[in-house]
Amino acid sequence: MSSLLAATATLPVIEAHEGGWDELAVFLGPLAIVAVLVYVARRGKHADQDDHDD
């Protein structure tokens, strides 16, 4: 086990915070997916109403 600790102690430290772009991607990714789904659903709804507009 001590050899594992020695190996990890020599690895360079990777900073978890990347300047905010990763948090932005986590927020905007799902938001973009929901926006596209709403757009497609509304477009389909309007197309159905136009076809049956007698």
Residue 49 resides in a domain:
yes
Residue 4 lies inside a defined structural domain of this protein: no
Range(s) of the domain holding residue 28: 18-54
pLDDT at residue 6, rounded to an integer: 62
pLDDT > 90? residue 39 = yes
25: left (phi over 0), alpha (psi -120 to 50) or beta: alpha
DSSP state of 14: P
pLDDT score at 44: 84
The answer as to whether 28 is a domain residue is yes
Our count of domains for the chain comes to: 1
Asked, for residue 33, whether it belongs to a domain, the answer is: yes
Which among 28, 11, 12, 32 has a CA at the least distance from the CA of 20?
Answer: 28
The pLDDT of residue 30: 95
Report pLDDT for 36: 97
Task: Determine the average pLDDT of the residues in 32-51.
Answer: 86
pLDDT at 2: 60
Number of alpha carbons in the 13 Å side-chain half-sphere of residue 17:
2
Q: How far is CA 21 from the centre of its chain?
A: 11
The verdict on residue 32 lying in a domain is yes
